[in-house]
Amino acid sequence: MPTFPERPKPRSAYGRSRLRRTCAIGCFLLSIMLLVIDGCGTSSPRFGSGESGVDPPRRKSPRFSREAQEERREDDKKPDPKTVGEVVSGTRDFRTEKNTAITPLDQSKIMRAISRYMGVPYVYGGADPRGMDCSGYTMLVYKESIGGELPRSAEEQFHIGTHVSFKDLKFGDLLFFNTTGPPASHVGIYLGDDLFAHASVSFGVTISSLESSYYKKRYTGARRVVSSGK
């Protein structure tokens, strides 16, 4: 006569209640673990990432994205590559636009600082070789070359030194532009022959021409921040 396994006895009400509590606790603990794992995976390190010490790239705000698009579209006058090479190497001499308030030695120091950061990417709020914005660049150039102390923002830099008319521009003068808001939301350093060095939103630290439609129509003024030779 065949035998069959004994049917399990129904769980008591107490057993079912205990099982439900156990399942609920397990689900709760699992959800906590998932939250912790998810948080570790999406948060960024406070002091950079990995061993490089380089902070993760910052996203451009909509206003800077729009500025970059306009700059690329309207920057229709590029300096001749040969001219740029001469400027960067220090072999180009702007005889007619020398600033007599800056000694030849100091001008050489400023040019070396200007050239040192060519190609560094634009980073809003940056002021070091990993990335810099326009006012961070001008501030760094003057500080490293001749120990000059400039304020941090283009707006603040617009209110120091003395006003200079466009026809009287000399090497080292700060040039200001209204790119995202008046009176000064962008700044660069005048070199001569309508050329200036700056940290461009689109191209990073570069040399541009004042004859470019983009800069010509946004130019708002210039300030001379070195009033006497050292």
Q: Is 163 noted as a catalytic residue in this protein?
A: no
Give the active site residue among 27, 40, 163, 186: 186
CA 21 to each of CA 14, 18, 98, 196: distance values in angstroms, whole numbers, following the listed order: 11, 5, 84, 73
Q: Is 134 noted as a catalytic residue in this protein?
A: yes
Chain CA centroid to CA 224, Å: 24
3-state secondary structure of 128: strand
Q: Is 40 noted as a catalytic residue in this protein?
A: no
CA 82 to each of CA 59, 77, 121, 189, 193: distance values in angstroms, whole numbers, following the listed order: 33, 15, 22, 20, 14
Tokens read off for 117: 């950061």
Amino acid at the residue 216: K
Cα(169)–Cα(98) distance, rounded to whole angstroms? 9
Cα(172)–Cα(222) distance, rounded to whole angstroms? 10
Give the active site residue among 23, 134, 159, 163: 134
Give the active site residue among 23, 27, 40, 198: 198
Cα(64)–Cα(61) distance, rounded to whole angstroms? 5
Closest CA to 194 of 67, 87, 74, 85: 87
Name the residues annotated as catalytic.
Answer: 134, 186, 198
